[in-house]
Structure 1
Amino acid sequence: MIGFIDASDGQVMWLTLPTSTLGMAVSEWEAIRAYMEEGPSALRKPMMGTDLEEGTVAFFHMCRRDYLLDHGCLRYLFGFLLIQFFSGWTLPCHVASWVKQLPKTAFPKAVQDWSKPLPREQWQAPSAELIAQSEEVRKILRKGMSIFDYFLEKEKNQSKTGV
C-alpha cells in the first residue's frame, strides 16, 4: 500500500499493490525508489519474448498443430478436436482479446494531476545522506547480499554502537 499526500489540501490517497510475498513487496518498493532517485534509466528493460501470448487465436492454432504432431490423427480427432468443439473452439480466445481491449479503470483525477512531472528546475537535489545510504545499499548488492541483509547488518551495527 502506497500513500500519496496531496500538497494542496494534505489529503492522503492510498494505492494498493497486491504482492504475494514480502520479497515481491520490497522489490516493488525498490523499483519505485530507484525510479524516483535515478529516473527511468534505473529500471531494467522488460524481457519480452517472441513467444505467442497464451489466450490468443494464434496460440490456440499453435497448440492444435503441436497436439496433432505429438499424438497422431486419431487421438487428435477424438481428443483435441472434440474437446475444443464443445468448449467453443476459438470463441474464448476472441472473448479474451475483446476483454483485454476494454478500457481499464483509471486513477482518480487528483492522483493523475499529482503524478504529472515537475519541471526540471523544481526538482529537489538528493541530500548527501541519501546519496551515502544509496551507495551503502549498492555496495551490499554488489557483494551479492539482499536488501534484507543490508538492514540486518545496519541493525546489528546500531545495536553495537548504541545509537
Structure 2
Amino acid sequence: MLNRLFKRKAEPEPPSSAQESQNPKAGEVRQIGAEETLYLAPLPVYTGQQPVSMQGFPVVNDVYLQVGGSNIGMVWQGKMLAWVIWLVIFLVFFCPIIIATLFFFITPEGTNNTFSKDLNLSFQVFLVIGLPAGILNIGICIRTLITQTREQARQYPLRFNRQRREVCFVDSNTHEILIVPWEKVTAWISQGQMVTQYNATTFYTFGMALENEEKGTVQPILFGKPSQAHAIGTWEAIRLYMEQGVPTDKTGAWLRLLLGRELTEYELRPYEGLHTWEVEKLMKEEDGGLHSCFSDERRAEIGLSPRSRWPLRRWYIWRVLSFWKMPYMIAEWGHKAGTPAMPERVQQWSQPIPPDQWAKPSPALQKATQLVQHAMDKKKMNFIDACKLIERKA
C-alpha cells in the first residue's frame, strides 16, 4: 500500500517559493532536496492504511484521545543500559584473561613472561583505560534516561476531542492554550535520507501543524517514526477515532484469539512497567504452546509445532542477562514521573457534553471521504490519485 502511495510516473520538480507559500492539501506531494513530504490533511480523509494499535496512545476514551506522555520504549532503553554494563564487565574482567591467554601461547619459550605477569599487566591496562570509559558510558545512559523522563514530565500531551471535534495544544514553556478545529489540522509524513561516511539512513517523520489564526502563527508537532506504515497508521488511528469513535483494537482481538480468553485490565495497561514483564512471559508461554488444550499429537495433526519450553527458557536467559526486572523497574519509574496536570480550562474542555451538542463533520469532509474511499477501495486507486478527485468534483 505504501509503495503505491509514493509511486509516481515521474519525479516532480522542486516546488517554487510560490508553491511553498500555498496551503497544502490532502494527497499533495512536495519535495525539497532529498526529503519528500506527503500531506494527509487538512480535510482528514480516508487513507486506506491499517491504523496502529490503540494501545500506543496513553489515554483513549469516549471524549478525547491523548498523544504524548507515554513511556513506550523505556524498557528497551533499560535493556541498553544493561548491555553497556555488561560491555564494561567484559572489558575490565574478561578481556585481560583473553589477552593473557593469547600471549601465553604465542610467547616463545625461554622468556621471562608468564601467564600471571601478562594477566596482571592486562588487568592494570584495562582498569586504567576501560573502567573510566565504561563508567562514562554508563553515566551517559543514566543521564539520558533521567533527562528524557524529566522532559516528559514537563511536556503537555496533545488532546483530540471527538465530541467537540477540536484539538488542544498547551505550550510547555508559556502554558499558552491553543485550540483549533479538527478539520483545519495539517498533517503530513516526510521521508528523507541522512548520508554518513558509513551508509545512508532513511528516516520518517509524522508531523502536524496547528494554526493560531489570532496571532498568525503555526505550531508544528513532530514525531519520529520507524517506518511509513507507523507514520500513516498513527494518523489513520487518530482519524478513525475522531470520525467514528473508539475503534476496535485489532491487536487486542488477535491476542484474545491467540490466548482463548479476554485480556485483563492489568495486561492492557497502555504503558510499560512491571506488568510488561508478566505480559512478555505470558506471550512466550503461548509461543511455546504451554497453555494449549491440545496434545502434541493433535497439534501435529492440525499443523502446529509440538509444545516446547525453549521460547520461555530463552526469554529467562535474556532476562538474566539484562539484570532481571531492572529495565521494567526503570520504565515503571518513568511512568510514575507522569506528565504535568492539564490547566483548568483544558480539563473543562475535556469534559463530556450532551450528544445533541456534539459537533458534526462538515459536508465537504463527508463528501471528500466518501469519494476517496470509493476510489481507493472500489477503483483500486492510490491515495494521491484519489485525492485529486476531490478538486475535480468540487
TM-score w.r.t. length of structure 1:
0.54
What SS does the corresponding residue of 1:124 show, helix, strand or coil?
Answer: coil
Looking at CA atoms only, which structure, 1 or 2, has the larger radius of gyration?
Answer: 2
Q: CA deviation at 1:116?
A: 1.4
Q: Find the partner of 2:385 among 133, 152, 156.
A: 152
Spell out, residue by residue over 1:142-163, the C-alpha distance to the aligned partner (whole angstroms, 9 max, x if none).
33847xx1332443785xx6x8
Q: CA deviation at 1:66?
A: 1.4
Q: Find the partner of 2:362 among 114, 127, 130.
A: 127
Relative to total residues, which structure has the larger strand share, 1 or 2? 2
Alignment of 1:48-127 (within 5 A): 48=252, 49=255, 58=281, 65-66=309-310, 89=320, 92-104=323-335, 105-106=338-339, 109-110=342-343, 113=346, 116-119=350-353, 120-127=355-362
RMSD: 4.7
1:21 aligns with 2:254: no
Q: CA deviation at 1:55?
A: 5.7
Pick closer, same or farther for the CA change 1:117–1:130 going to 2, 3 Å.
Answer: farther
CA contact (8 A) 2:212 2:218 kept: yes
What SS does the corresponding residue of 1:139 show, helix, strand or coil?
Answer: helix
Relative to total residues, which structure has the larger helix share, 1 or 2? 1
Gaps spanning 5+ residues in structure 1: where? 70-79
1:37 aligns with 2:232: no
What SS does the corresponding residue of 1:47 show, helix, strand or coil?
Answer: helix
Gaps spanning 5+ residues in structure 2: where? 1-206, 260-274, 289-308
CA contact (8 A) 2:209 2:219 kept: yes
Counterpart in 2 of 1:72? none
Q: CA deviation at 1:19?
A: 1.5
Spell out, residue by residue over 1:109-162, the C-alpha distance to the aligned partner (whole angstroms, 9 max, x if none).
25x92771551344221122211112123223433847xx1332443785xx6x
How many residues end up aligned between the 2 structures? 140
Q: CA deviation at 1:94?
A: 1.2
CA contact (8 A) 1:3 1:13 kept: yes
Pick closer, same or farther for the CA change 1:137–1:25 going to 2, 3 Å.
Answer: same
Pick closer, same or farther for the CA change 1:142–1:108 going to 2, 3 Å.
Answer: farther
CA contact (8 A) 2:372 2:386 kept: no
% of aligned pairs identical?
Answer: 15
Structure with the larger RCO, 1 or 2 (CA within 8 Å, 6+ apart): 2
The amino acid across from 2:364 in the alignment is E
Spell out, residue by residue over 1:81-105, the C-alpha distance to the aligned partner (whole angstroms, 9 max, x if none).
xxx5xx8837623112212322434
CA contact (8 A) 2:372 2:387 kept: no
CA contact (8 A) 1:55 1:96 kept: no
CA contact (8 A) 2:208 2:222 kept: yes
